[in-house]
Amino acid sequence: MSAQEQIKAVVDSNDVVLFMKGTKMMPSCGFSSRVAGVLNFMGVEFQDVNVLADAEIRQGIKDFSDWPTIPQLYVKGEFVGGCDIVTEMTLSGELDALFEAKGVTFDKDAANKIREANG
């Protein structure tokens, strides 16, 4: 299976996927840590894919999304964005709205706490 096929299979078979450096429990860069931290704090179940474990996946995800940086968040097959976009969406409430629209379970109180702490 090619890297593109592997990526598509993971994106299609999981509601929320984070392609990141490291894992959700052991992120290997600050940007990946921030996005994984937001998802973990909000209680979102997500599949993590450590791009450092496979060079073909690391380049392949950039080609797949036509987005040059990692981390990359996907929700129900849709590319959402990287760290800056996810951060902005969290603070504006757009991420909550996306999760609600896509039927992804998350802790609304935790999302509100993130906004309160950064408001």
Binding-site residues for [2Fe-2S] cluster: 29
Is the separation of the CB atoms in 38 and 87 below 8 Å? yes
At 23 the three-state DSSP class reads: coil
- Spatial separation of the C-alpha atoms in residues 107 and 26, rounded to whole Å: 22
- Provide the pairing of β-strand 16-20 with 72-75: antiparallel
Annotated binding-site ranges: 29
**Residues 105 and 43: beta-carbon distance below 8 Å:** yes
